[in-house]
Amino acid sequence: MEVFWYLPTQGDERYLGTPIGRRQANYPYMQQIAQAVDKLGFGGMLIGTGQKQDTWIVAASLIPVTQRLRFLVAFRPAIMSPSLAVRMAATFDQLSNGRIILNVVTGGDTKELAKDGVFLDHDQRYELTDEFLTIWRSLMQGEEVTFTGRHLKVAEAKLQFPPVQKPYPTLYFGGSSDAALQVAAKHIDVYLTWGEPPQLVAQKIAKVRQLAAEQGRTVRFGIRLHAIVRETAQKAWDAANELIQYVDDATIASAYEKFARSESEGQRRMAQLHQGNRHNLEISPNLWSGVGLVRGGAGTALVGDADTVATRMLEYADLGIDTFVFSGYPHLEEAYRVAELLFPRLPLQAPTVAVPQQIPTAFNEFVTKGDLLKPQPV
């Protein structure tokens, strides 16, 4: 089992739905979180994408101030070429000595994607993601690629320097629609679901496994959750209620209307868990949907004392989940609580310190005897 943490590049909260206690996402604070997560023994750290600080730049800036932490870098295929993405990922992999993981985010909001110049509908975006990953995986494995698809086209593309990780850095991916599950089955190493009740997660895992088997592949599974862990159950539930104490009914109603009509199947499923009602938020034993009242994306938290939360995690593990990607508010303090209270109760995979490697390159900017006189890169 591995436990990852989350870096709040959009800013951090002490309470949801209010500026009270809010923290800016400045570099010193992000470095504090990253170094704490690194020292505490988390397996990795998710850095999300969207209309916030650039994921790649933030992650790269944290390479020299951490030792073993792996960066789960989220990116959107629709706003960059696969050839560029391959070079960026391979460069990061070399500079960090193999500490990059990639979270492929197709994106479920047409209006948000339009801000980045993307004007594709839901299914077209997954078609593009399929083409992107077809090219990306081939390039990462050293192949020369000429490809013409409906959305993407490359000619004689080739990565001139290899990544540290073989065959390439691990690919994570989430999405609940049929189109998303097909992409996951065909390309992805770890399918990442949001924190639904165990019976719904089991159904999703079974579906992805079936589709992957049809492709001759196997897929691992992770889950994206929040965590509210305390010494006693009462303290944990008190902390959960305090987190949403400033959230009013009008804000909940407005958020629910938005989430319920989202293009994202996963977002609609999150909204259905609480139905815009702040009462009866425990939708499964110790699984609380209060975060999703006002937060888009992952909207559920495991709440309880450490023994109980560990038990719930092991129940998900029995279904096939081996990676838990957690958040907590505020993220600095809650990283310590999760590590100190939960880690001794879990069968964790020990993080390893990256060992510097000399990576050969196939690239030479000079023409040598016997070379074909092709245009040389500058």
Per-domain boundaries in the chain: 2-345
pLDDT tens readout for residues 136-149 = 999 999 999 999 99
136 near 125, Cβ under 8 Å? Answer: no
- Which H or E run includes 273? helix 265-274
Predicted local distance difference test score (pLDDT) of residue 113: 86
Predicted local distance difference test score (pLDDT) of residue 378: 46
Parallel, antiparallel or unpaired: strands 145-148 and 153-157: antiparallel
Neighbours of 378 (CB within 10 A): 4
Predicted local distance difference test score (pLDDT) of residue 360: 60
Q: What is the rounded CA–CA span in Å between residue 312 and residue 301?
A: 11
Backbone angles phi, psi at 114, to 5 degrees: -60, -30
Find tokens 């739905």 and name the residue: 17
Predicted local distance difference test score (pLDDT) of residue 356: 60
Both tokens assigned to 302: 């495991």
CB neighbour list of residue 150: distance below 8 Å, 6 or more residues apart:
127, 128, 131
Both tokens assigned to 95: 């500079």
Q: State the virtual CA torsion across 171, 175, 180, 182 in degrees, nearest 10.
A: 70
Both tokens assigned to 26: 């400045």
Give the Å distances, CA to CA, from 173 to 8, 212, 219, 220, 255. Answer: 19, 14, 11, 11, 25
| pLDDT less than 70: residues of the chain | 352-378
Predicted local distance difference test score (pLDDT) of residue 370: 54
CB neighbour list of residue 215: distance below 8 Å, 6 or more residues apart:
185, 186
Predicted local distance difference test score (pLDDT) of residue 357: 62
Predicted local distance difference test score (pLDDT) of residue 259: 86
Predicted local distance difference test score (pLDDT) of residue 238: 98
Percent over 90 (pLDDT), the chain: 78
Q: DSSP for 73-127, please give it.
A: EEE-GGGS-HHHHHHHHHHHHHHTTS-EEEEE---S-HHHHHTTT----HHHHHH
Give the Å distances, CA to CA, from 28 to 35, 58, 174, 199, 243. Answer: 10, 12, 30, 41, 24
Q: What is the rounded CA–CA span in Å between residue 25 and residue 8?
A: 7
Task: For 167-193, give one letter per residue: b (16+ CB within 10 A) or e.
Answer: ebbbbbbbbbbebbbbbbbbbbbbbbb
Predicted local distance difference test score (pLDDT) of residue 28: 97
Neighbours of 343 (CB within 10 A): 15
CATH code of the domain made up of 2-345: 3.20.20.30
Question: How far out from the chain centre does Cα 270 lie?
Answer: 17
Parallel, antiparallel or unpaired: strands 100-104 and 282-284: unpaired
Q: What is the rounded CA–CA span in Å between residue 317 and residue 33?
A: 26
86 near 67, Cβ under 8 Å? Answer: no
DSSP three-state, residue 229: strand
Give the Å distances, CA to CA, from 201 to 97, 145, 193. Answer: 34, 37, 7
Predicted local distance difference test score (pLDDT) of residue 110: 82
